[in-house]
A = this chain, B = another copy of it.
Amino acid sequence: MNRTMHIYPEDRVTLREVGLRDGLQLVRQFPSTQAKRDWLHREYAAGVRHFEIGSFLPASRMPQFADIRDLIEEVATLPKAFSSALTLNERALSDAMQTKVDEVICVVSATEDHSRANMRRSRDEAVALVASAREAAGPDGPLVNAGIAMAFGCSISGAVAQTEVLRLAEACLDAGADVVGVADTVGYAGPRQISAMCDALNSLCGDRPYTVHLHDTRGMGIANAAAALDAGCRVLDGALAGLGGCPFAPGASGNVVFEDLVFLAETMGLTTGIDLTALVGVRDILAAEMPGETLHGALAEAGAPNIDWAA
């Protein structure tokens, strides 16, 4: 628990930058390892501390994550910075344990259909992998995060009952997850669904943090983030320039825009420790390395307003 609170302190909101993982999941062209290092270092200089940096998968399948070990090493050199990575099978878990990664993320789909399409295993098998992760990590290894994908509706199966998501989240906690997360993988939720889920997770998780991962597929990303923060969620994901999506979720576009998320938190009087102007500047790397990608985000276009919200 102590280690969890070290990575996700109770007294502040943590914004996790998932662009290097979820943001690169679908792209054909991706940044060089050196450009990714610059991305990390410049965001670190801007105040970002939590980086989801890839998925442990064969480089032949996901070449964009071939340099995952280099990036974990890089994050390990940065004081108070934390790396996380997806581990979708036993091999990935075993590989992750050989690194300094701070958190491994297992994915459990909210629906059986998506579980089989996305990971070729049942939901029960996915929960069993969380138990394996817990065992492999031991007391001194990385945190184990169990993320429930399609938690607000599934592009394959349609509606998802909140009770089902909570059942899975509880199963993951019972299996030893340090942190659970809920993902609106295809952007189906509105703010009231997010509020209701966070209220339920507050009860389920108690002192333990939970994460909310939002996609802006239908324009609700920031509204949903606001609802999560209002409900007391203190760990939220976003991707620089709103990169990303899920290859097994037809129609899914990008993650919630990280810069806009930081701005949202500022307007809410929450301290993120992130300098918006410096953060927006990091988009230059994406523009240079991924010229074919649309860079989303209104704040970057308009600039911050001439108001000090904290005043």
Q: Which residues of A contact B (CB under 8 A)?
A: 153, 155, 158-159, 186-193, 216-220, 222-223, 225-227, 230, 251-253, 257, 260, 263-264, 266-269, 297-299, 301-309, 311
* B residues near A264, Cβ cutoff 8 Å: 190-191, 219-220, 223
Shortest C-beta distance, A203 to chain B (Å), equals 21
Q: How many copies does the complex hold?
A: 2
* Contact of B219 with A305 in the complex, beta carbons under 8 Å: no
Q: A159-B311, A223-B226, A298-B217 are in contact. Are A268 and B190 (CB under 8 A)?
A: yes
Query: Interface majority SS on A: helix, strand, loop or mixed?
Result: loop
Closest 4 CB pairs of A and B: A190-B267, A219-B298, A219-B260, A223-B223
* Contact of B303 with A192 in the complex, beta carbons under 8 Å: no
* B residues near A230, Cβ cutoff 8 Å: 191
* B residues near A297, Cβ cutoff 8 Å: 219
Nearest-CB residue, chain B, relative to A269: B192
* Contact of B223 with A302 in the complex, beta carbons under 8 Å: no
Bound together, the chains give a CA A222 to CA B216 distance in angstroms of: 11
Pick from B153, B260, B302, B311: contact of A305, CB under 8 Å:
B153
* B residues near A187, Cβ cutoff 8 Å: 298, 302, 305
Bound together, the chains give a CA A252 to CA B309 distance in angstroms of: 19
Q: A219-B257, A220-B264 are in contact. List 17 more A-B contacts (CB 8 A).
A: A153-B306, A158-B307, A159-B307, A159-B308, A190-B267, A191-B264, A191-B268, A192-B267, A218-B263, A218-B304, A219-B260, A219-B263, A219-B299, A220-B263, A223-B223, A223-B264, A253-B301
- Give 27 A-B contacts (CB < 8 Å), ordered by A residue: A153-B306, A153-B307, A158-B307, A159-B307, A159-B308, A186-B305, A187-B298, A188-B307, A191-B226, A191-B264, A217-B302, A218-B263, A218-B299, A218-B305, A219-B222, A219-B257, A219-B299, A220-B222, A220-B263, A220-B298, A222-B222, A222-B223, A223-B226, A226-B227, A251-B302, A251-B303, A253-B301
